[in-house]
């Protein structure tokens, strides 16, 4: 599948993987298991390095370009994973990942959409980290490097590390 990611000032990466990874995640001081090994794996690295990590199943993404942009409350639609929609208000100041009118992730990497989230059978995925400020870039680069290294050690097939920023705001997946 080919997609386009439009970004401004954040680190991103696309990682086609071919093996599932089991890892434990921690949330609020207690172990969290989502039931999706790759999500648990990314969460563990995100918490260890303190940088956001999000992942999407490439086969489940809409055909429209993926964008990091402000919410459009009058037209955007969101189907949150594991929670009722009313808990996630669509406000104009909210920054989110979207494809067309479909919200892929509410509030940067806060809550995924049930329609594009990883599943136990996800095969090709894109893994993202974003930085709003230059001081955050090192942590984003470190978390992506850690995830790549572990995936490769487990036999995963990883694409090159792709970065989008103000001067180069997009790339093809």
Q: What is the largest CA-CA distance in the chain?
A: 45
Which residues contact residue 89 at a Cβ distance below 8 angstroms, ignoring those fewer than 6 apart? none
Does an H or E element contain 146, and which?
A: helix 137-153
According to the model, what pLDDT value does residue 32 have? 63
Mean per-residue pLDDT, 137-163: 84
d(CA 122, CA 72): 29
For 39: left if phi > 0, alpha if psi spans -120 to 50, otherwise beta; the answer is alpha
**Residue 167 reports pLDDT greater than 50:** yes
> Which of 20-24, 82-86, 129-133 shows the lowest per-residue confidence on average (mean pLDDT)?
20-24
pLDDT in tens, 66-104: 888 899 999 999 999 888 999 999 999 998 889 999 999
For residues 44-70, give the mean pLDDT. Answer: 85
Overall average pLDDT of the 114-141 stretch: 85
- How high does pLDDT run on average in the chain? 76
Let me know: does 165 contact 10? Beta carbons within 8 Å. Answer: yes
Its pTM surpasses 0.85: no
Mean pLDDT of 46-59: 83
The secondary structure element, H or E, covering residue 144 is helix 137-153
Q: Give the residue among 43, 95, 97, 22 at the shortest CA–CA distance from 66.
A: 97
Q: Which of 49-53, 64-68, 131-135 has the highest mean pLDDT?
A: 64-68
Q: What is the pLDDT of residues 100-124, one digit of tens each?
A: 999 999 987 788 899 998 888 888 8
- The answer to whether residue 23 scores a pLDDT higher than 80 is no
- Please state which of the ranges 8-22, 28-42, 134-148 shows the lowest mean pLDDT: 8-22
The helix (H) or strand (E) run that includes residue 83 is none
């Amino acid at each position: 599948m080919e997609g386009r990611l439009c970004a401004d000032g954040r680190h991103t990466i696309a990682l086609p993987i071919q093996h599932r990874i089991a890892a434990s995640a921690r949330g609020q001081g207690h172990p969290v298991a989502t039931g999706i090994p790759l999500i648990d794996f990314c969460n563990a690295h995100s918490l260890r390095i303190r940088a956001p990590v999000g992942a999407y199943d490439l086969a489940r993404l809409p055909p429209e370009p993926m964008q990091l942009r402000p919410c459009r409350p009058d037209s955007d639609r969101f189907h949150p994973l594991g929670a009722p929609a009313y808990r996630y208000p669509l406000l104009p100041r909210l920054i989110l990942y979207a494809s067309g009118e479909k919200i892929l992730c509410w509030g940067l990497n806060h809550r995924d959409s049930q329609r594009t989230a990883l599943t136990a059978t996800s095969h090709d995925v894109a893994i993202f980290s974003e930085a709003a400020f230059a001081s955050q870039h090192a942590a984003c680069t470190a978390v992506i490097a850690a995830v790549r290294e572990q995936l490769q050690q487990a036999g995963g097939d990883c694409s090159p590390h792709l970065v989008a920023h103000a001067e180069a705001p997009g790339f093809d997946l």
